[in-house]
């Protein structure tokens, strides 16, 4: 029976966790032999975790990375019941592109029914 590769961790909701989870995610992808998707996955991880740090309501962030039957899934939980939206910021705006980047790079993305987890594949 096929078993998914899976890495799960929770950590404090602090800005330092963005780089940490990006490094851990990249290390697991290399371990699983998925070197071709490391750079894209690092960007997706950065955007999802940054959103969790900025807009989350829980003290901790939940992070999971899994690969099953050729599909990589990145999931971040932050305790916030809101659903992210893809914004179209003006060229001079410094924020607001995270979900636009995820929408452009991910095959699919969405949230849990309660909005506390955002995922992409």
* pLDDT tens column, 12-40: 999 999 999 999 999 999 999 999 999 99
Per-residue pLDDT tens digits for 89-102:
677 776 767 788 89
Q: For residue 61, what are the contacts with CB-CB under 8 A and spacing of at least 6?
A: 10, 11, 12, 13, 17, 21, 49, 52, 53, 76, 77, 78
Share of the chain above pLDDT 90, in %: 74
Q: For residue 93, what are the contacts with CB-CB under 8 A and spacing of at least 6?
A: none
Starting at the earlier edge strand, list the strands of the sheet with 117-120: 5-12, 60-68, 71-77, 117-120, 109-111
pLDDT at 56: 92
Asked if pLDDT for residue 1 goes beyond 60, the answer is no
Residue with tokens 């800005």: 15
Instruction: Identify the structural domains of the chain with CATH numbers, from first to last.
Output: 5-120 (3.30.565.10)
Does 83 or 67 have the greater pLDDT score? 67
């Amino acid at each position: 029976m096929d078993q998914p590769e899976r890495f799960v961790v929770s950590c404090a909701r602090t800005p330092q966790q963005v780089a940490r989870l990006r490094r851990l995610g990249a290390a697991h992808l290399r371990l699983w032999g998925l070197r071709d998707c490391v750079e894209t996955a690092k960007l997706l991880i950065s955007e999802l975790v940054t959103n969790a740090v900025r807009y989350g309501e829980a003290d901790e962030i939940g992070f999971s990375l899994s690969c099953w039957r050729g599909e990589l899934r990145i999931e971040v939980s932050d305790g916030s019941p809101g659903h992210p939206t893809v914004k179209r910021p003006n060229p001079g705006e410094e924020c607001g592109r995270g979900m636009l980047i995820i929408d452009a790079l991910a095959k699919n993305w969405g949230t849990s029914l309660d909005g506390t987890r955002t995922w992409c594949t």
